[in-house]
């Protein structure tokens, strides 16, 4: 275990109080490729396709690819203003810093607390998913019948251990996992294309109108069917917004943030549209909805497995089973890293205990990471006591928790959109652009609000447990997380104005930060 460096932090300006003593993240450690690995692996393409394509088919039938296309366009528009903000403000705080700069410390801290909670819970949720697939697969392969929570605990321990190492090592591990899962899906696509699908190839499923005209889904969900489809698509991008969180560790943060965000949003979007279309073509326009119904009735674990058996062979199915485990692990690690950086940022500005701002001699926020691990352990333990079955790791931990996290992230993204508008209308008028910093963020903000509505209105159908208190009160839990941060900010405002002035203050766009950057250990050499 590496030692903890505790250098002092200089005052970011001549009048502001000093932030909490802590360490410094590794500057220049990540290039564009490494940041993309950290971001795209958080979105977990294989897990997104295996989980969310069937959900999207439930709501949109054969028009599922169109739902992914709509989500791609909406999130690309949202990214326009987000990228402009990231080019002005670079800090590990991401949304927290952006919203503080645009809407002030109260909204900023409320959002920062909420988003930190969301990423911690996302990490726990994906660890539960890892446990489910590891347990069922090892049982099938080797007749090793261990409950999912054993594998979940192992995942938590390994992810925690990686938190003590340089971020470059994490990026390399994430990169290997990402390449493997994408390659497996490409092989499946080649197999379906080479054999012409079930009933020939058609581009009609990509027509946006198709996402709103699935008769079978309308019979099941009524008018909410399109909402289920669109939410299933939006769900697949969680994590794409992570680029600013790695800004302090990037070699050229302003350039990398733009390339990494657009690359992840548009790249993932095109990939999702393509793979969801392959899924529909593999089953056939008339056969895809029944196939998904068979999956949810328990006929098979994933509707992707019969496709890989039919079009490529059992070998690919085995690889998919392996890579869904590695994909879940990599996704958990990506969320874990982001959650630790949010806690680190909040601590550095004295909104959380000072110890969380400490870094190891490898410039990793290890104390913040340990706190994430403890919270995950308690949260996962509570779910295990509630239901220790292996199925619960997927259907409860891996399904209920992401609903809470996605709602929180969508809400914060909406707030960030309007913060960007205000920032460029006031603080950064020299960077104002009618489309980039006004129209696009407004469109993106209202689109995120619409996505929040779809989640809240359809949470019973999406969870399959509408009567459970966790699902019933889910929107209020998200609101409570935001209000906790608001309450802390208001308390600090009236009791400790010096601390209040620190909220969201640590950003590389502030020239004083460059002049008085906190001293740290030896700078890490540039990485990949």
Domain ranges of the chain: 25-515
Q: What percent of the chain has pLDDT over 90?
A: 47
Average pLDDT, integer, range 243-270:
73
Residue 16 has pLDDT above 50, yes or no: no
Band of residue 242 on the pLDDT scale cut at 50, 70, 90: low
Residue 87's CB is within 10 A of a number of other CB atoms, namely 16
| Top-confidence residue, 28 or 273 | 273
Q: What was the pLDDT predicted at 177?
A: 76
Q: What was the pLDDT predicted at 213?
A: 66
Q: Do 432 and 438 touch, CB atoms closer than 8 A?
A: yes
Average pLDDT, integer, range 216-231:
62
Residue 247 has pLDDT above 70, yes or no: no
Q: Do 261 and 237 touch, CB atoms closer than 8 A?
A: no
Band of residue 394 on the pLDDT scale cut at 50, 70, 90: confident
Average pLDDT, integer, range 267-276:
93
Distances in Å between the Cα of 174 and the Cα atoms of 20, 25, 146, 177, 332 are 31, 19, 26, 5, 10
The partner residues of 5 in beta bridges, in order of sequence, read: 359
Q: In 3D, which of 346, 409, 323 has the Cα closest to residue 122?
A: 409
Among 225-229, 309-313, 414-418, the minimum mean pLDDT is found in 225-229
Residue 506 has pLDDT above 70, yes or no: no
Q: In 3D, which of 243, 244, 216, 217 has the Cα closest to residue 228?
A: 217
The partner residues of 250 in beta bridges, in order of sequence, read: 30
How would CATH label the architecture of 25-515?
Up-down Bundle (1.20)
Among 43-47, 283-287, 393-397, the minimum mean pLDDT is found in 43-47
Compute the mean pLDDT over every residue in the chain, rounded to the nearest whole number. 82
The span from the CA of 114 to the CA of 412, in Å, is 8
Residue 364 has pLDDT above 80, yes or no: no
Q: What was the pLDDT predicted at 96?
A: 85
Q: pLDDT tens for residues 416-465?
A: 999 999 999 999 999 999 999 999 999 999 988 988 988 898 888 788 88
Q: What was the pLDDT predicted at 28?
A: 59
Residue 224 has pLDDT above 70, yes or no: no
| Prediction pTM value | 0.83
Residue 13 has pLDDT above 50, yes or no: no
Would you give the DSSP letter of residue 240?
Answer: G
Q: In 3D, which of 409, 340, 415 has the Cα closest to residue 374?
A: 340
- b/e per residue 109-130 (b: at least 16 CB within 10 A): bbbbbbbbbbbbbbbbbbbbbb
Strand 359-360, strand 4-5: pairing:
antiparallel
Residue 191 has pLDDT above 80, yes or no: yes
Residue 527 has pLDDT above 70, yes or no: no
Among 115-119, 156-160, 171-175, 490-494, the minimum mean pLDDT is found in 171-175
Query: Cα 316 from chain centroid?
Result: 27
Q: What was the pLDDT predicted at 486?
A: 97
Residue 414 has pLDDT above 90, yes or no: yes
The span from the CA of 325 to the CA of 158, in Å, is 14
Residue 243 has pLDDT above 90, yes or no: no
């Amino acid at each position: 275990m590496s030692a903890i460096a505790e250098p002092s932090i200089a005052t970011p300006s001549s009048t502001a109080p000093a932030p909490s003593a802590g360490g410094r993240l590794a500057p220049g450690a990540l290039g564009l490729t490494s940041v993309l690995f950290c971001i795209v692996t958080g979105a977990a393409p294989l897990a997104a396709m295996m989980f969310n394509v069937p959900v999207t088919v439930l709501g949109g039938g054969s028009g599922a690819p169109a739902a992914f296309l709509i989500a791609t366009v909406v999130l690309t528009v949202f990214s326009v203003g987000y990228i402009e903000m990231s080019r002005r403000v670079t800090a590990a705080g991401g949304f927290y810093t952006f919203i503080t700069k645009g809407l002030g410390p109260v909204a900023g801290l409320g959002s920062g607390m909420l988003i930190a909670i969301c990423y911690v819970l996302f990490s726990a949720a994906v660890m539960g998913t890892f446990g489910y697939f590891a347990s069922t697969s090892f049982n099938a392969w080797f007749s090793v019948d261990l409950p999912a929570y054993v594998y979940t605990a192992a995942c938590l321990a390994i992810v925690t251990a990686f938190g003590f190492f340089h971020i470059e090592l994490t990026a390399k591990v994430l990169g290997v996992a990402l390449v493997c899962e994408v390659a497996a899906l490409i092989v499946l696509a080649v197999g379906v294309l080479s054999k012409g699908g079930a009933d020939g190839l058609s581009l009609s499923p990509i027509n946006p109108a198709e996402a709103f005209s699935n008769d079978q889904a309308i019979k099941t969900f009524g008018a909410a069917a399109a909402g289920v489809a669109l939410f299933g698509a939006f769900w697949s991008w969680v994590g794409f917004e992570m680029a600013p969180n790695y800004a302090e560790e990037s070699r050229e943060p302003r350039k990398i943030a733009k390339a990494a965000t657009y690359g992840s949003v548009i790249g993932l979007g095109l990939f999702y549209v393509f793979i969801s279309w392959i899924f529909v073509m593999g089953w056939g326009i008339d056969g895809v909805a029944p196939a998904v119904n068979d999956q949810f009735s328990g006929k098979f674990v994933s509707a992707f497995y019969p496709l890989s058996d039919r079009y490529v062979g059992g070998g690919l199915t085995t690889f998919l089973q392996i890579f869904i485990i590695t994909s879940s692990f990599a996704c958990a690690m990506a969320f874990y890293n982001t959650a630790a950086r949010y806690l680190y940022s909040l601590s550095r500005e004295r909104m959380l205990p000072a110890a969380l701002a400490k870094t190891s001699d490898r410039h990793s926020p290890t104390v913040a990471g340990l706190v994430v691990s403890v919270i995950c352990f308690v949260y996962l333990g509570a779910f295990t006591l509630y239901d220790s079955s292996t199925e619960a790791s997927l259907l409860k931990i891996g399904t209920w928790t992401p609903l809470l996290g996605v709602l929180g992230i969508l809400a914060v993204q909406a707030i960030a959109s309007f913060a960007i508008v205000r920032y460029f209308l006031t603080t950064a008028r020299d960077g104002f652009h009618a489309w980039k910093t006004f129209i696009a963020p407004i469109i993106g903000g209202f689109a995120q609000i619409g996505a929040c509505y779809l989640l809240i209105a359809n949470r019973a159908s999406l969870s399959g447990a509408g009567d459970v208190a966790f699902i019933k009160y889910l929107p209020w839990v998200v609101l409570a997380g935001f209000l906790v941060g608001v309450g802390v900010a208001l308390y600090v405002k009236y009791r400790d104005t010096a601390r209040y002035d620190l909220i969201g203050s640590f950003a590389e766009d502030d020239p004083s930060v460059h002049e008085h950057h906190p001293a740290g250990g030896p700078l890490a050499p540039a990485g990949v």
